[in-house]
């Protein structure tokens, strides 16, 4: 009997572990927009395979290998045969006219670093990003990669040319994704004008589809015999996935090079929605607090639930008096209305919530007492002998 119980318990633990792994796989893969199934030839020993990718419009160089047999993510190595664009970037806060420090971080190839552009009060903030190169750059798209949980800018416009001789290649338009497209343009300078209502964190800036720039990606991983694999790629956000130990995938010996295969749309892709209000982060006027209605009564681009009308440092949705400053949030009667905007006449009954009930009970007792007294009096009167 004990052995049978132990076997059942072990089975349940394994089932739970399997379910957890499968769930984790599905959960991580939802960030990726594209998918490729990898056809590995019959192998008898673990073999390093190399999968070629030639996509020219990837926003993020992030690939994820999924072992469909073991339902685990596998460690991998991305080799990039690209000609690095040689340009410089400067950023100016248009509201103050001051240069933003650390602008070089948006072209350092590290998506963990970022430049933050803060907002200024209730005004829509704006910034100018200038890209300069000693050689002519020919491109037709720009990618502004944002940190996770950050909304897109409100509008963007792009000018291009040389020095101060610029022409508009993209008129002011609302931003709908992290990549924008315009007619193919050759220029030494590109000037990007942005407006935004929420703090903006830019991790990387890329001029995509640069002419004469080779873009070939080679993904390597260790394949096991009789296992099937898929590769997820082109995520809309940064993804952190734990994998096992990675061997020396830089070693070019005994690498099995596979043929390219056609990508397909990832059916499990779900656009990022941090607060679960059905509004994607990149278009949500309040990323961290659910507000399906997106109400923005003062039209400053920030949803009212995460705005701060009275400037006391407490956002409206957490402020017990959103229209009058009260940083201390004092609420003596505990009715969730700050003292500065609570009516004094209601304090006693709000603080002692049992008082109204005491009054009701007292009134009920009085009514019952009067009724009882009346009934008793009437009976006594009926019992009296009739008078002549």
Residue 152, classified by CB atoms within 10 Å of its CB into exposed (0-12), middle (13-18) or buried (19+), is: buried
The predicted structure's pLDDT at residue 159: 97
DSSP conformation class of 17: H
* Residue whose C-alpha is closest to residue 151's, from 306, 314, 310: 306
Helices (H) and strands (E) counted in the chain, each on its own, are 3, 16
> pLDDT confidence of 5, banded at 50, 70, 90?
very low
User: To which residue do tokens 């949705």 refer?
Assistant: 317
Please say whether the dihedral angle defined by the alpha carbons of residues 68, 69, 71 and 74, taken in this order, is positive or negative.
negative
Output the pTM of the full model: 0.70
Residues 184-229: tens digit of each pLDDT: 999 999 999 999 999 899 999 988 766 555 567 899 999 999 999 9
Residues 85-138: tens digit of each pLDDT: 578 999 999 888 899 999 999 988 888 899 999 887 777 899 999 999 998 988
* Residue whose C-alpha is closest to residue 51's, from 246, 256, 249, 232: 256
Q: Tell me if residue 155 falls in helix, strand or coil.
A: strand
- And the tokens for 110? 């590290």
């Amino acid at each position: 009997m004990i052995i049978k119980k132990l076997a059942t318990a072990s089975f349940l633990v394994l089932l739970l572990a399997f379910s957890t792994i499968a769930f984790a796989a599905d959960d991580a893969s939802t960030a990726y927009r594209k998918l490729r199934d990898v056809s590995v030839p019959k192998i008898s020993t673990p073999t390093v395979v190399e999968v070629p990718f030639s996509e020219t419009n990837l926003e993020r160089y992030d690939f994820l290998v999924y072992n469909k047999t073991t339902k685990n993510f596998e460690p991998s190595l991305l080799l990039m045969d690209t000609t690095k664009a040689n340009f410089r970037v400067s950023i100016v806060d248009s509201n103050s006219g001051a240069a933003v420090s650390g602008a070089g971080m948006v072209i350092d190839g590290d998506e963990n670093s970022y430049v933050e552009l803060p907002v200024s009060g209730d005004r829509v903030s704006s910034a100018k990003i200038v890209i300069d190169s000693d050689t002519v750059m020919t491109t037709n798209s720009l990618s502004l990669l944002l940190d996770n949980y950050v909304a897109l800018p409100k509008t963007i416009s792009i000018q291009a040319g040389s020095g101060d001789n610029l022409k508009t290649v993209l008129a002011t338009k609302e931003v709908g994704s992290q990549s924008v497209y315009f007619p193919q343009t050759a220029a030494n300078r590109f000037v990007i004008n942005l407006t935004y209502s929420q703090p903006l964190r830019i991790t990387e800036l890329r001029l995509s589809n640069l002419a004469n720039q080779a873009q070939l990606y080679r993904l390597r991983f260790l394949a096991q015999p009789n296992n099937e694999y898929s590769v997820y790629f082109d995520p809309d956000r940064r993804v952190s996935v734990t994998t096992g130990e990675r061997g020396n995938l830089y070693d070019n010996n005994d690498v099995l090079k596979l043929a390219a295969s056609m990508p397909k749309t990832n059916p499990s892709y779900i656009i990022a929605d941090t607060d679960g209000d059905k509004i994607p982060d990149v278009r949500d006027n309040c990323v961290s607090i659910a507000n399906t209605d997106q109400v923005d009564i003062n039209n400053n681009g920030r949803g009212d639930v995460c705005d701060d009308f009275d400037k006391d440092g407490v956002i409206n949705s957490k402020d017990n008096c959103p229209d009058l400053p009260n940083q201390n949030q004092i609420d003596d009667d505990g009715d969730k209305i700050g003292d500065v905007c609570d009516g004094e006449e209601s304090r006693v009954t709000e603080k002692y919530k049992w008082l109204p009930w005491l009054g009701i009970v007292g009134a009920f007792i009085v009514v019952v007492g009067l009724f009882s007294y009346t009934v008793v009096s009437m009976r006594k009167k009926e019992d009296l002998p009739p008078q002549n």
